[in-house]
């Protein structure tokens, strides 16, 4: 019932004329900052794509960003656009678009060891295997136990990254992003495992190893994005300690809400809207606006008092 109601509200908001939708977004954002999280960029989806929500056409991303910037009517750098996982086509998108949008902060999160060794991701392996076995249990591949120090030595994952549809950016491409004045690289861990699935000592070792690899390849780490990234689901408070001990890091999640300027401090957990690539840009605006409105302080207090 609640899901159907939310879908109906989103459809209604998305159908508003551009000026009204923009005014609603501007009021819902209420002067706060916003970070968007994308993954893959493609105008045509792969046949049998396992995670279609992770892919969005370039034109839809362009239109979404342009609309948000115009609707906000602000002169400060309030919008951050991030890409996770380090796919080649998303790197090419950032290299092309970031110079056109100097008012936007661009963050490109990579798994440093995967980038260096060119090693693919488990969900892409599951997609490949499902082509031969439609009844395949996807979770048995994606969330099977991980040995972080051996994960990126797997021959099947190494072969995967050589497939054009799963190609990753290489070190040189990432360095080109790093040289852009309004873009930075961030660490996304070496093996991209949900932190809750690792023992505490495994997670601490994974963070330390990925920080060393990132620094060796790209310089000191200033940003880290949790894999999968939902607070309380994919990671908990204890997973923040190894990151905060490193110092000087901004930590990013996929909690869908805007944030205030004061929240953006070292060691704080910053939110990002993970954009559903199967939605239109209008529906994405409606979703961002609705979630932003639900996190305004007066409304939250009213709900807590009920």
State which H helix or E strand residue 109 sits in: strand 105-110
C-alpha–C-alpha distance, residues 72 and 101, integer Å: 15
C-alpha–C-alpha distance, residues 24 and 71, integer Å: 9
Give the per-residue pLDDT at 9.
87
C-alpha–C-alpha distance, residues 186 and 222, integer Å: 7
Give the per-residue pLDDT at 8.
86
Task: Give tens-digit pLDDT for 124-153.
Answer: 999 999 999 999 999 999 999 999 999 999
C-alpha–C-alpha distance, residues 126 and 138, integer Å: 6
Compute the half-sphere exposure of residue 14: CA atoms within 13 Å on the CB side of its CA: 16
Query: How sure is the predictor about 3, in pLDDT bands with cuts at 50, 70 and 90?
Result: low
Task: Give tens-digit pLDDT for 217-254.
Answer: 999 999 999 999 999 999 999 999 999 999 999 999 99
The pLDDT of 180-207, averaged and rounded, is 97
Query: How sure is the predictor about 303, in pLDDT bands with cuts at 50, 70 and 90?
Result: very low
Q: Is the pLDDT of residue 198 over 90?
A: yes
Q: Is the pLDDT of residue 306 over 60?
A: no
C-alpha–C-alpha distance, residues 233 and 227, integer Å: 11
Q: Is the pLDDT of residue 106 over 60?
A: yes
Burial degree of 154 (CB within 10 A; 0-12, 13-18, 19+)? middle
Q: Is the pLDDT of residue 301 over 80?
A: no
Give the per-residue pLDDT at 6.
78
Long-range contacts of 227-233 (CB under 8 A, 24+ apart): 227/188, 227/189, 227/192, 227/193, 227/194, 227/195, 228/194, 228/254, 229/37, 229/253, 229/254, 229/255, 229/272, 229/274, 230/254, 230/255, 231/255, 231/269, 233/196
* Spans of all domains in the chain: 31-275
Question: Which structure tokens are listed for 155?
Answer: 């021959």
Task: Please tell me the pTM assigned to this model.
Answer: 0.94
Measured over the CA atoms of residue 292, residue 273, residue 105 and residue 15, the dihedral's sign is negative
Give the per-residue pLDDT at 267.
87
pLDDT, the chain, mean? 94
Share of the chain above pLDDT 70, in %: 95
The pLDDT of 46-55, averaged and rounded, is 95
The pLDDT of 17-26, averaged and rounded, is 97
Q: How many residues does the chain have?
A: 306
Within 10 angstroms of residue 258's Cβ, the number of other Cβ atoms is: 22
C-alpha–C-alpha distance, residues 177 and 69, integer Å: 22
Give the per-residue pLDDT at 1.
43
Measured over the CA atoms of residue 50, residue 54, residue 58 and residue 61, the dihedral's sign is positive
Give the per-residue pLDDT at 302.
36
Q: Is the pLDDT of residue 24 over 50?
A: yes
Give the per-residue pLDDT at 38.
98
Give the per-residue pLDDT at 229.
97
Give me the CATH code for the 31-275 domain, please. 3.20.20.370
Question: Closest Cα partner for 231 from 248, 212, 251, 260?
Answer: 251
The pLDDT of 86-115, averaged and rounded, is 98
Share of the chain above pLDDT 90, in %: 92
The pLDDT of 187-196, averaged and rounded, is 98
The pLDDT of 297-303, averaged and rounded, is 44
Q: Rounded to an integer, what is the distance from CA 37 to the centroid of its chain?
A: 4
């Amino acid at each position: 019932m609640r899901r159907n109601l939310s879908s109906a509200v989103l459809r209604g908001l998305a159908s508003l004329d551009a000026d009204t939708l923009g005014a609603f977004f501007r009021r819902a954002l209420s002067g706060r900052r916003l970070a968007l999280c994308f993954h893959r960029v493609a105008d045509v989806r792969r046949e049998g794509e396992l995670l279609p929500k992770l892919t969005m056409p370039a034109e839809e991303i362009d239109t979404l960003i342009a609309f948000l910037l115009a609707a906000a009517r602000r002169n400060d750098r309030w919008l951050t656009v991030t890409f996770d996982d380090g796919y080649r086509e998303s790197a090419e998108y950032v290299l092309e678009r970031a110079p056109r949008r100097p008012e936007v902060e661009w963050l490109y999160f990579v798994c440093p060891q995967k980038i260096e060794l060119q090693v693919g991701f488990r969900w892409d392996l599951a997609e490949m295997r499902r082509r031969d076995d439609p009844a395949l249990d996807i979770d048995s591949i994606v969330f099977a136990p991980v040995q972080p120090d051996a994960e990126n030595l797997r021959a099947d994952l190494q072969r995967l990254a050589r497939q054009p549809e799963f190609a990753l950016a290489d070190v040189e491409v990432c360095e080109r992003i790093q040289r852009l004045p309004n873009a930075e690289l961030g660490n996304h861990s070496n093996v991209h495992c949900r932190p809750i699935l690792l023992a505490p000592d495994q997670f601490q070792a994974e963070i330390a190893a990925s920080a060393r690899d990132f620094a060796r390849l790209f310089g000191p780490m200033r940003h880290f994005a949790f894999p999968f990234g939902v607070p309380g689901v994919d990671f908990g408070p204890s997973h923040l300690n190894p990151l905060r001990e490193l110092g000087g890091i901004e930590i990013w999640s996929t909690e869908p809400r805007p944030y205030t300027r004061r929240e953006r401090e070292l060691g704080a957990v910053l939110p990002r809207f993970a954009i559903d690539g199967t939605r239109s840009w209008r529906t994405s605006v409606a979703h961002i606006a609705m979630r932003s409105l639900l996190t305004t302080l007066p409304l939250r207090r009213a709900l807590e008092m009920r």
